[in-house]
């Protein structure tokens, strides 16, 4: 499915509201003046309040499971608005709240 290309300035959250940031966006391709993110770069999550029966079990890292099938940057698929992901250690997804709306990919 087509979706907007995700870039460094996108708002990405874990399912519990923690802020997620890419560890290494690709600086060779810019969208809205900011580097795009690729499937290979994991996201770090900060501020996740998730707990199980009073024991903290926050999201720490998120990895994209799906990405673009047609757009590659450095041989790696770019992350799209509809890409699927999973956080460690609890298996919940990352949620893209907002991103640029000028460039779409498939």
**Chain segment 44-63, per-residue pLDDT in tens:** 999 999 988 888 889 999 99
The predicted structure's pLDDT at residue 25: 95
List, for residues 18-43, the tens digit of each pLDDT value.
Answer: 999 999 999 999 999 999 999 999 99
Per the DSSP assignment, residues forming a β-bridge with 45 are 20
Instruction: Note whether 96 and 69 are within 8 A (CB).
Output: no
Report the alpha-carbon distance of residue 103 to residue 73 in Å, rounded: 14
Helix (H, G, I), strand (E, B) or coil at 67: coil
The mean pLDDT value of the chain amounts to 95
Peptide bond into 98 cis (omega under 30): no
**CA distances for 86 relative to 29, 45, 54, 103, 104, angstroms:** 25, 12, 23, 24, 23
């Amino acid at each position: 499915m087509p979706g907007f290309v995700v870039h460094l300035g996108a708002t990405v959250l874990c399912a519990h509201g923690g802020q997620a940031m890419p560890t290494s966006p690709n600086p060779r391709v810019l969208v809205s003046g900011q580097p795009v993110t690729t499937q290979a770069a994991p996201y770090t999550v900060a501020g996740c309040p998730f707990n199980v029966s009073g024991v903290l079990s926050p999201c720490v890292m998120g990895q994209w499971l799906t990405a673009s099938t047609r757009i590659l940057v450095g041989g790696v698929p770019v992350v799209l608005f509809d890409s699927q992901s999973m956080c460690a250690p609890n298996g919940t997804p990352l949620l893209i709240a907002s991103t640029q709306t000028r460039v779409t990919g498939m």
